[in-house]
Structure 1
Amino acid sequence: MTAPTPPQDRLLTVLTDAGIRDERVMAAMLRVPRDFFIPSTFREHAFENTALPIGHGQTISQPQVVGIMTEVLRLSDRHKVLEIGTGSGYQTAILAQLCRRVYTIERHKPLLKEAEERLAHLRISNVTAKHGDGGVGWPEQAPFDRIIVTAAAEHEVPRPLLDQLAVGGMMVVPVARSPIDQRLLLVTRHQSEVEVQDLGAVRFVPLISDMLEPSRPQSVAEALSRLTAPRRS
Protein backbone atom coordinates (compact mmCIF):
# COMPACT_ATOMS: atom_id res chain seq x y z
CA MET A 1 0.00 0.00 0.00
CA THR A 2 1.39 3.40 -1.02
CA ALA A 3 1.81 5.88 1.83
CA PRO A 4 -0.19 9.13 1.43
CA THR A 5 1.69 12.13 0.10
CA PRO A 6 2.46 14.68 2.87
CA PRO A 7 0.29 17.83 2.54
CA GLN A 8 3.19 20.20 1.89
CA ASP A 9 4.53 17.90 -0.82
CA ARG A 10 1.12 17.99 -2.51
CA LEU A 11 1.13 21.78 -2.36
CA LEU A 12 4.65 21.90 -3.75
CA THR A 13 3.54 19.73 -6.68
CA VAL A 14 0.57 22.04 -7.36
CA LEU A 15 2.82 25.12 -7.40
CA THR A 16 5.46 23.48 -9.56
CA ASP A 17 2.85 22.27 -12.05
CA ALA A 18 1.45 25.82 -12.18
CA GLY A 19 4.86 27.10 -13.27
CA ILE A 20 5.69 28.96 -10.04
CA ARG A 21 9.46 29.48 -10.00
CA ASP A 22 10.04 32.27 -7.48
CA GLU A 23 11.67 30.56 -4.51
CA ARG A 24 10.50 33.27 -2.07
CA VAL A 25 6.89 32.77 -3.14
CA MET A 26 7.22 28.99 -2.89
CA ALA A 27 8.75 29.24 0.58
CA ALA A 28 6.08 31.67 1.81
CA MET A 29 3.26 29.44 0.60
CA LEU A 30 4.84 26.38 2.20
CA ARG A 31 5.20 28.26 5.51
CA VAL A 32 1.56 29.37 5.67
CA PRO A 33 -0.72 26.44 6.61
CA ARG A 34 -3.66 26.61 4.18
CA ASP A 35 -5.70 24.18 6.29
CA PHE A 36 -5.66 26.70 9.17
CA PHE A 37 -7.65 29.16 7.00
CA ILE A 38 -10.37 26.71 5.90
CA PRO A 39 -13.59 25.73 7.75
CA SER A 40 -13.30 22.29 9.36
CA THR A 41 -15.96 20.90 7.00
CA PHE A 42 -13.60 21.27 4.05
CA ARG A 43 -10.24 20.89 5.78
CA GLU A 44 -9.50 17.49 4.25
CA HIS A 45 -9.36 19.25 0.85
CA ALA A 46 -7.01 22.00 2.05
CA PHE A 47 -4.04 20.93 -0.05
CA GLU A 48 -5.96 20.18 -3.22
CA ASN A 49 -5.81 22.64 -6.08
CA THR A 50 -9.38 23.81 -5.65
CA ALA A 51 -11.27 26.86 -4.38
CA LEU A 52 -13.24 26.20 -1.19
CA PRO A 53 -16.15 27.99 0.55
CA ILE A 54 -15.31 30.10 3.60
CA GLY A 55 -18.79 31.47 4.29
CA HIS A 56 -20.78 34.58 3.33
CA GLY A 57 -20.71 33.54 -0.33
CA GLN A 58 -16.92 33.88 -0.45
CA THR A 59 -14.18 31.38 -1.28
CA ILE A 60 -10.49 30.78 -0.68
CA SER A 61 -8.76 30.70 -4.06
CA GLN A 62 -6.95 27.71 -5.55
CA PRO A 63 -3.31 27.51 -4.42
CA GLN A 64 -2.31 27.71 -8.10
CA VAL A 65 -4.10 31.04 -8.52
CA VAL A 66 -2.71 32.41 -5.24
CA GLY A 67 0.79 31.45 -6.38
CA ILE A 68 0.42 33.05 -9.80
CA MET A 69 -1.06 36.30 -8.46
CA THR A 70 1.64 36.56 -5.82
CA GLU A 71 4.52 35.76 -8.15
CA VAL A 72 3.59 38.25 -10.89
CA LEU A 73 3.70 41.13 -8.38
CA ARG A 74 7.46 40.58 -7.86
CA LEU A 75 7.24 41.58 -4.22
CA SER A 76 10.13 42.86 -2.16
CA ASP A 77 10.53 43.60 1.54
CA ARG A 78 10.36 47.34 0.73
CA HIS A 79 6.86 47.23 -0.72
CA LYS A 80 3.65 48.55 0.76
CA VAL A 81 0.77 46.41 -0.53
CA LEU A 82 -2.99 46.97 -0.69
CA GLU A 83 -5.17 43.85 -0.71
CA ILE A 84 -8.82 44.13 -1.71
CA GLY A 85 -10.75 41.25 -0.14
CA THR A 86 -9.17 39.81 3.01
CA GLY A 87 -11.40 36.74 2.93
CA SER A 88 -9.96 33.98 5.10
CA GLY A 89 -6.66 35.84 5.49
CA TYR A 90 -4.67 33.18 3.61
CA GLN A 91 -3.48 35.43 0.79
CA THR A 92 -2.85 38.17 3.37
CA ALA A 93 -0.57 35.89 5.38
CA ILE A 94 1.44 34.99 2.28
CA LEU A 95 1.82 38.63 1.25
CA ALA A 96 2.99 39.51 4.76
CA GLN A 97 5.94 37.11 4.39
CA LEU A 98 7.12 38.94 1.28
CA CYS A 99 6.63 42.70 1.79
CA ARG A 100 7.05 45.49 4.32
CA ARG A 101 3.38 46.01 5.17
CA VAL A 102 -0.02 44.83 3.97
CA TYR A 103 -3.14 46.98 4.13
CA THR A 104 -6.19 44.78 3.63
CA ILE A 105 -9.91 45.57 3.30
CA GLU A 106 -12.87 43.21 3.80
CA ARG A 107 -16.56 44.10 3.49
CA HIS A 108 -17.82 41.12 5.57
CA LYS A 109 -17.19 41.85 9.27
CA PRO A 110 -17.33 38.20 10.45
CA LEU A 111 -14.76 37.16 7.85
CA LEU A 112 -12.49 40.05 8.81
CA LYS A 113 -12.69 39.18 12.51
CA GLU A 114 -11.82 35.54 11.83
CA ALA A 115 -8.96 36.52 9.52
CA GLU A 116 -7.49 38.92 12.10
CA GLU A 117 -7.65 36.18 14.74
CA ARG A 118 -5.82 33.74 12.46
CA LEU A 119 -3.13 36.28 11.62
CA ALA A 120 -2.66 37.09 15.31
CA HIS A 121 -2.38 33.37 16.11
CA LEU A 122 0.41 33.07 13.53
CA ARG A 123 2.08 36.17 15.05
CA ILE A 124 1.93 38.12 11.80
CA SER A 125 2.36 41.74 12.82
CA ASN A 126 2.87 43.69 9.58
CA VAL A 127 -0.80 43.68 8.52
CA THR A 128 -3.27 46.52 8.99
CA ALA A 129 -6.87 45.49 8.31
CA LYS A 130 -10.17 47.31 8.18
CA HIS A 131 -13.82 46.70 7.41
CA GLY A 132 -14.86 48.67 4.35
CA ASP A 133 -15.64 48.95 0.67
CA GLY A 134 -12.76 47.54 -1.33
CA GLY A 135 -13.79 49.37 -4.47
CA VAL A 136 -12.86 52.64 -2.77
CA GLY A 137 -9.41 51.42 -1.78
CA TRP A 138 -7.53 53.07 1.09
CA PRO A 139 -6.72 56.62 -0.10
CA GLU A 140 -5.36 57.71 3.28
CA GLN A 141 -2.49 55.25 2.89
CA ALA A 142 -1.88 55.70 -0.86
CA PRO A 143 0.15 55.41 -2.96
CA PHE A 144 0.78 51.66 -2.88
CA ASP A 145 3.68 49.85 -4.51
CA ARG A 146 1.49 46.85 -5.21
CA ILE A 147 -2.26 46.19 -5.25
CA ILE A 148 -3.91 42.77 -5.36
CA VAL A 149 -7.65 42.38 -5.91
CA THR A 150 -9.22 39.04 -4.99
CA ALA A 151 -12.67 39.62 -6.50
CA ALA A 152 -13.68 40.33 -10.08
CA ALA A 153 -14.32 43.97 -11.02
CA GLU A 154 -17.13 44.61 -13.49
CA HIS A 155 -15.95 45.55 -17.01
CA GLU A 156 -12.95 47.66 -15.94
CA VAL A 157 -10.22 48.14 -13.40
CA PRO A 158 -11.71 50.31 -10.60
CA ARG A 159 -10.59 53.92 -11.05
CA PRO A 160 -10.03 54.57 -7.31
CA LEU A 161 -7.54 51.69 -7.19
CA LEU A 162 -5.73 52.91 -10.28
CA ASP A 163 -5.42 56.35 -8.72
CA GLN A 164 -3.83 54.78 -5.61
CA LEU A 165 -1.18 52.81 -7.52
CA ALA A 166 2.27 54.40 -7.33
CA VAL A 167 4.27 55.22 -10.43
CA GLY A 168 6.33 52.09 -11.01
CA GLY A 169 3.70 50.07 -9.16
CA MET A 170 1.88 46.92 -10.22
CA MET A 171 -1.67 45.69 -9.70
CA VAL A 172 -3.11 42.23 -10.34
CA VAL A 173 -6.88 42.24 -10.74
CA PRO A 174 -9.55 39.99 -12.25
CA VAL A 175 -11.95 41.84 -14.55
CA ALA A 176 -15.29 40.41 -15.67
CA ARG A 177 -16.02 41.29 -19.29
CA SER A 178 -19.28 39.33 -19.02
CA PRO A 179 -20.85 36.95 -16.45
CA ILE A 180 -18.94 34.06 -18.04
CA ASP A 181 -15.72 35.78 -19.12
CA GLN A 182 -13.22 36.90 -16.48
CA ARG A 183 -9.60 37.78 -17.28
CA LEU A 184 -6.73 38.20 -14.85
CA LEU A 185 -4.90 41.44 -15.65
CA LEU A 186 -1.49 42.68 -14.57
CA VAL A 187 -1.40 46.48 -14.64
CA THR A 188 2.00 48.20 -14.49
CA ARG A 189 2.08 51.95 -14.05
CA HIS A 190 4.88 53.91 -15.68
CA GLN A 191 5.51 57.66 -15.51
CA SER A 192 3.55 58.51 -18.66
CA GLU A 193 1.73 55.31 -19.60
CA VAL A 194 0.06 52.21 -18.25
CA GLU A 195 0.92 48.72 -19.44
CA VAL A 196 -1.69 45.94 -19.23
CA GLN A 197 -0.93 42.25 -19.57
CA ASP A 198 -3.66 39.60 -19.88
CA LEU A 199 -2.69 36.58 -17.77
CA GLY A 200 -5.60 34.40 -18.84
CA ALA A 201 -9.05 33.23 -17.80
CA VAL A 202 -9.99 33.01 -14.11
CA ARG A 203 -13.07 32.59 -11.94
CA PHE A 204 -13.62 34.85 -8.92
CA VAL A 205 -16.57 36.02 -6.86
CA PRO A 206 -17.68 39.52 -7.93
CA LEU A 207 -16.25 42.68 -6.40
CA ILE A 208 -19.16 44.30 -4.56
CA SER A 209 -18.85 48.04 -4.05
CA ASP A 210 -21.43 50.64 -3.09
CA MET A 211 -19.24 53.41 -4.50
CA LEU A 212 -18.56 52.02 -7.97
CA GLU A 213 -21.30 52.87 -10.42
CA PRO A 214 -22.35 50.19 -12.91
CA SER A 215 -20.35 50.88 -16.05
CA ARG A 216 -20.75 50.12 -19.69
CA PRO A 217 -18.36 47.54 -21.13
CA GLN A 218 -15.20 49.17 -22.41
CA SER A 219 -11.63 48.25 -23.13
CA VAL A 220 -9.07 48.39 -20.36
CA ALA A 221 -6.99 50.75 -22.51
CA GLU A 222 -9.93 53.16 -22.70
CA ALA A 223 -10.40 53.08 -18.94
CA LEU A 224 -6.71 53.61 -18.28
CA SER A 225 -6.43 56.49 -20.72
CA ARG A 226 -8.19 58.75 -18.21
CA LEU A 227 -5.70 58.00 -15.47
CA THR A 228 -3.82 60.69 -13.54
CA ALA A 229 -0.57 60.00 -11.73
CA PRO A 230 -0.63 59.98 -7.91
CA ARG A 231 1.88 61.96 -5.94
CA ARG A 232 4.01 60.59 -3.16
CA SER A 233 3.90 62.52 0.08
Structure 2
Amino acid sequence: MSIDYARARARETMVEQQQRPWDVLDARVLDTLARVPREAYLADALRGLAYADTELPIGHGETTLKPVLEGRLLQALAPQPGESVLVIGAGSGYLVACMAALAREVVAVERHADLADAAQSRLAAQGIGNVVVRCADALAWNPGRSFDVICVTGAVATLPARFVEWLNPDGRMFVVHGHAPVMEAALVRRTVNGHHVEALFETELPYLAGAAPVPAFTL
Protein backbone atom coordinates (compact mmCIF):
# COMPACT_ATOMS: atom_id res chain seq x y z
CA MET A 1 0.00 0.00 0.00
CA SER A 2 1.48 3.38 -1.00
CA ILE A 3 1.82 6.21 1.51
CA ASP A 4 -0.49 8.44 -0.58
CA TYR A 5 -3.18 5.74 -0.69
CA ALA A 6 -2.89 5.12 3.06
CA ARG A 7 -3.26 8.82 3.80
CA ALA A 8 -6.25 9.14 1.48
CA ARG A 9 -7.86 6.23 3.34
CA ALA A 10 -7.05 7.92 6.66
CA ARG A 11 -8.83 11.07 5.45
CA GLU A 12 -11.88 9.03 4.47
CA THR A 13 -11.88 7.31 7.86
CA MET A 14 -11.62 10.68 9.63
CA VAL A 15 -14.66 11.91 7.72
CA GLU A 16 -16.74 8.80 8.36
CA GLN A 17 -15.74 8.03 11.96
CA GLN A 18 -15.09 11.49 13.41
CA GLN A 19 -16.95 14.12 11.39
CA ARG A 20 -20.26 12.44 10.57
CA PRO A 21 -20.84 11.08 14.11
CA TRP A 22 -20.34 14.64 15.39
CA ASP A 23 -23.06 15.87 13.02
CA VAL A 24 -20.78 17.40 10.39
CA LEU A 25 -23.00 16.62 7.43
CA ASP A 26 -22.55 19.54 5.03
CA ALA A 27 -21.48 18.06 1.68
CA ARG A 28 -19.10 20.89 0.76
CA VAL A 29 -17.36 20.70 4.12
CA LEU A 30 -17.03 16.91 4.04
CA ASP A 31 -15.65 17.06 0.49
CA THR A 32 -13.10 19.66 1.56
CA LEU A 33 -12.00 17.62 4.57
CA ALA A 34 -11.69 14.56 2.34
CA ARG A 35 -9.50 16.40 -0.19
CA VAL A 36 -7.20 18.74 1.78
CA PRO A 37 -4.12 16.77 2.94
CA ARG A 38 -3.81 17.58 6.64
CA GLU A 39 -0.43 15.85 6.83
CA ALA A 40 1.05 18.44 4.44
CA TYR A 41 0.68 21.06 7.18
CA LEU A 42 2.51 19.14 9.91
CA ALA A 43 6.11 18.38 10.76
CA ASP A 44 7.36 15.12 9.25
CA ALA A 45 7.42 13.36 12.63
CA LEU A 46 3.71 14.07 13.17
CA ARG A 47 2.31 13.20 9.76
CA GLY A 48 1.33 9.70 10.85
CA LEU A 49 -0.99 11.33 13.43
CA ALA A 50 -2.55 13.81 11.02
CA TYR A 51 -6.04 12.28 11.25
CA ALA A 52 -6.04 11.30 14.91
CA ASP A 53 -8.78 12.82 17.07
CA THR A 54 -6.37 14.99 19.05
CA GLU A 55 -4.50 18.29 19.07
CA LEU A 56 -0.95 18.17 17.70
CA PRO A 57 1.96 20.46 18.66
CA ILE A 58 3.13 23.05 16.13
CA GLY A 59 5.63 25.04 18.23
CA HIS A 60 5.64 27.85 20.81
CA GLY A 61 3.31 25.78 22.99
CA GLU A 62 0.61 26.04 20.30
CA THR A 63 -1.37 23.11 18.92
CA THR A 64 -3.68 22.33 16.04
CA LEU A 65 -7.41 22.11 16.62
CA LYS A 66 -8.96 18.66 16.75
CA PRO A 67 -10.27 17.58 13.32
CA VAL A 68 -13.84 17.31 14.67
CA LEU A 69 -13.73 20.91 15.88
CA GLU A 70 -12.42 22.04 12.50
CA GLY A 71 -15.31 20.26 10.82
CA ARG A 72 -17.90 21.74 13.16
CA LEU A 73 -16.66 25.31 12.76
CA LEU A 74 -16.42 25.02 8.97
CA GLN A 75 -20.01 23.80 8.89
CA ALA A 76 -21.20 26.59 11.20
CA LEU A 77 -19.48 29.31 9.20
CA ALA A 78 -20.30 27.79 5.78
CA PRO A 79 -17.94 30.03 3.75
CA GLN A 80 -19.30 30.61 0.24
CA PRO A 81 -17.33 30.85 -3.05
CA GLY A 82 -17.72 34.62 -3.28
CA GLU A 83 -16.87 35.44 0.33
CA SER A 84 -13.82 36.79 2.15
CA VAL A 85 -12.50 35.10 5.29
CA LEU A 86 -10.26 36.19 8.14
CA VAL A 87 -8.60 33.46 10.23
CA ILE A 88 -7.24 34.69 13.56
CA GLY A 89 -4.49 32.22 14.43
CA ALA A 90 -3.15 30.67 11.22
CA GLY A 91 -1.40 27.87 13.11
CA SER A 92 -0.16 25.12 10.82
CA GLY A 93 -2.09 26.51 7.83
CA TYR A 94 -4.42 23.51 7.48
CA LEU A 95 -7.63 25.25 8.55
CA VAL A 96 -6.65 28.20 6.36
CA ALA A 97 -6.35 25.80 3.42
CA CYS A 98 -9.82 24.43 4.10
CA MET A 99 -11.24 27.96 4.20
CA ALA A 100 -9.44 28.76 0.95
CA ALA A 101 -11.11 25.76 -0.73
CA LEU A 102 -14.54 27.07 0.26
CA ALA A 103 -14.20 30.86 -0.09
CA ARG A 104 -12.95 33.47 -2.56
CA GLU A 105 -10.06 34.75 -0.46
CA VAL A 106 -8.54 34.25 2.97
CA VAL A 107 -6.43 36.54 5.14
CA ALA A 108 -4.82 34.79 8.11
CA VAL A 109 -2.93 36.35 11.00
CA GLU A 110 -0.39 34.56 13.16
CA ARG A 111 1.63 36.22 15.94
CA HIS A 112 4.64 33.89 15.66
CA ALA A 113 6.72 34.85 12.62
CA ASP A 114 8.13 31.35 12.02
CA LEU A 115 4.66 29.78 12.14
CA ALA A 116 3.32 32.43 9.77
CA ASP A 117 6.18 31.83 7.32
CA ALA A 118 5.78 28.04 7.54
CA ALA A 119 2.02 28.24 6.98
CA GLN A 120 2.46 30.49 3.93
CA SER A 121 5.13 28.17 2.51
CA ARG A 122 2.97 25.08 2.99
CA LEU A 123 -0.01 26.76 1.36
CA ALA A 124 2.14 27.82 -1.60
CA ALA A 125 3.54 24.29 -1.89
CA GLN A 126 -0.04 23.02 -2.23
CA GLY A 127 -0.72 25.53 -5.01
CA ILE A 128 -3.12 27.62 -2.92
CA GLY A 129 -2.97 31.19 -4.19
CA ASN A 130 -5.99 32.89 -2.65
CA VAL A 131 -4.44 33.23 0.84
CA VAL A 132 -2.24 35.81 2.53
CA VAL A 133 -0.70 35.01 5.93
CA ARG A 134 0.39 38.02 7.98
CA CYS A 135 2.50 38.06 11.14
CA ALA A 136 0.48 40.11 13.62
CA ASP A 137 -1.16 40.13 17.03
CA ALA A 138 -4.88 40.27 16.27
CA LEU A 139 -5.59 42.21 19.46
CA ALA A 140 -3.31 45.05 18.29
CA TRP A 141 -3.57 44.71 14.49
CA ASN A 142 -5.90 46.64 12.19
CA PRO A 143 -6.80 44.92 8.92
CA GLY A 144 -8.06 48.14 7.33
CA ARG A 145 -11.02 46.27 5.87
CA SER A 146 -13.91 43.99 6.80
CA PHE A 147 -14.78 40.36 6.06
CA ASP A 148 -17.79 38.15 5.45
CA VAL A 149 -16.47 35.40 7.73
CA ILE A 150 -14.11 35.43 10.72
CA CYS A 151 -12.75 32.33 12.44
CA VAL A 152 -11.04 32.75 15.82
CA THR A 153 -8.94 29.68 16.58
CA GLY A 154 -8.18 30.54 20.22
CA ALA A 155 -10.56 31.22 23.08
CA VAL A 156 -11.42 34.65 24.48
CA ALA A 157 -12.77 35.42 27.94
CA THR A 158 -15.05 38.06 26.44
CA LEU A 159 -15.73 38.83 22.80
CA PRO A 160 -13.45 41.67 21.58
CA ALA A 161 -15.55 44.46 20.04
CA ARG A 162 -12.87 44.98 17.39
CA PHE A 163 -13.50 41.49 15.98
CA VAL A 164 -17.21 42.23 15.55
CA GLU A 165 -16.38 45.54 13.85
CA TRP A 166 -14.36 43.64 11.24
CA LEU A 167 -17.48 41.78 10.07
CA ASN A 168 -19.42 42.92 7.04
CA PRO A 169 -23.17 43.46 7.52
CA ASP A 170 -24.73 40.01 8.02
CA GLY A 171 -21.22 38.58 8.39
CA ARG A 172 -20.57 35.75 10.84
CA MET A 173 -17.81 34.74 13.20
CA PHE A 174 -16.93 31.51 15.00
CA VAL A 175 -15.46 32.06 18.44
CA VAL A 176 -15.02 30.11 21.68
CA HIS A 177 -15.60 32.28 24.73
CA GLY A 178 -15.93 32.03 28.49
CA HIS A 179 -13.87 30.73 31.37
CA ALA A 180 -12.17 27.33 31.42
CA PRO A 181 -13.01 24.54 31.91
CA VAL A 182 -16.50 25.31 30.59
CA MET A 183 -16.41 27.36 27.40
CA GLU A 184 -18.98 27.90 24.70
CA ALA A 185 -18.47 27.79 20.95
CA ALA A 186 -20.65 30.43 19.37
CA LEU A 187 -21.65 31.85 16.00
CA VAL A 188 -21.73 35.65 16.09
CA ARG A 189 -23.70 37.50 13.41
CA ARG A 190 -23.27 41.20 12.64
CA THR A 191 -26.66 42.96 12.70
CA VAL A 192 -27.88 46.48 12.02
CA ASN A 193 -27.99 47.17 15.74
CA GLY A 194 -24.85 45.33 16.80
CA HIS A 195 -24.49 41.58 16.87
CA HIS A 196 -26.33 38.38 17.78
CA VAL A 197 -24.67 35.42 19.52
CA GLU A 198 -25.90 31.86 18.86
CA ALA A 199 -24.59 29.14 21.18
CA LEU A 200 -23.35 26.08 19.30
CA PHE A 201 -21.76 23.61 21.73
CA GLU A 202 -19.48 23.38 24.76
CA THR A 203 -15.75 22.91 24.26
CA GLU A 204 -12.44 24.17 25.60
CA LEU A 205 -9.52 25.88 23.86
CA PRO A 206 -6.35 27.65 24.99
CA TYR A 207 -6.84 31.41 25.13
CA LEU A 208 -5.53 33.78 22.50
CA ALA A 209 -2.54 35.67 23.85
CA GLY A 210 -3.93 38.64 25.73
CA ALA A 211 -7.51 37.35 25.74
CA ALA A 212 -7.49 35.30 28.96
CA PRO A 213 -9.58 36.36 31.97
CA VAL A 214 -8.08 39.03 34.20
CA PRO A 215 -7.08 37.31 37.48
CA ALA A 216 -9.49 38.17 40.26
CA PHE A 217 -8.04 39.95 43.29
CA THR A 218 -8.82 38.25 46.57
CA LEU A 219 -7.90 39.22 50.11
Indicate whether the TM-score tops 0.5: yes
Amino acid at match of 2:168: A
Give the secondary-structure state (helix, strand or coil) at the position aligned to 1:129: strand
Distance in 1 (alpha carbons) for counterparts of 2:165 and 2:193:
14
Q: After the TM superposition, which residues 16-165 of structure 1 pair with which residues of structure 2 at under 5 Å, given as runs?
A: 16-136=20-140, 138-140=142-144, 142-154=145-157, 156-165=158-167
Distance in 1 (alpha carbons) for counterparts of 2:47 and 2:71:
20
Amino acid at match of 1:83: V
Contact 2:120/2:132 (<8 A) preserved = no
Counterpart position of 1:166: 168
Distance in 1 (alpha carbons) for counterparts of 2:143 and 2:134:
13
Scaled by the length of structure 2, what TM-score is found?
0.88
Tell me how many residue pairs correspond in the alignment: 209
Identity over aligned pairs, percent? 31
Q: Structure 1 stretches (4+) deviating beyond 6 angstroms? A: none
Amino acid at match of 1:60: T
Provide, for residues 45-104 of structure 1, a one-character-per-residue CA deviation record: whole Å limited to 9, x for no partner: 211121111111111111110011011112111111111000000000000001111011
Distance in 1 (alpha carbons) for counterparts of 2:202 and 2:45:
29
Distance in 2 (alpha carbons) for counterparts of 1:136 and 1:161:
11
Q: Which runs of 5+ in 1 are unaligned?
A: 218-233
Q: After the TM superposition, which residues 204-219 of structure 1 pair with which residues of structure 2 at under 5 Å, given as runs?
A: 204-209=205-210
Provide, for residues 118-167 of structure 1, a one-character-per-residue CA deviation record: whole Å limited to 9, x for no partner: 00000100001110012245431x2211100000112x111111111111
Q: Which moved more, 1:121-130 or 1:34-43?
A: 34-43
Scaled by the length of structure 1, what TM-score is found?
0.83
Contact 1:79/1:99 (<8 A) preserved = yes
The Cα shift of 1:202 comes to 1.6
Aligned CA-pair RMSD: 2.0
Give the secondary-structure state (helix, strand or coil) at the position aligned to 1:200: strand
Distance in 1 (alpha carbons) for counterparts of 2:212 and 2:86:
22
Contact 2:119/2:133 (<8 A) preserved = no
Give the secondary-structure state (helix, strand or coil) at the position aligned to 1:146: strand
Q: After the TM superposition, which residues 4-19 of structure 1 pair with which residues of structure 2 at under 5 Å, given as runs?
A: 6-13=9-16, 14-19=18-23
Counterpart position of 2:3: none
Q: Which runs of 5+ in 2 are unaligned?
A: 1-5
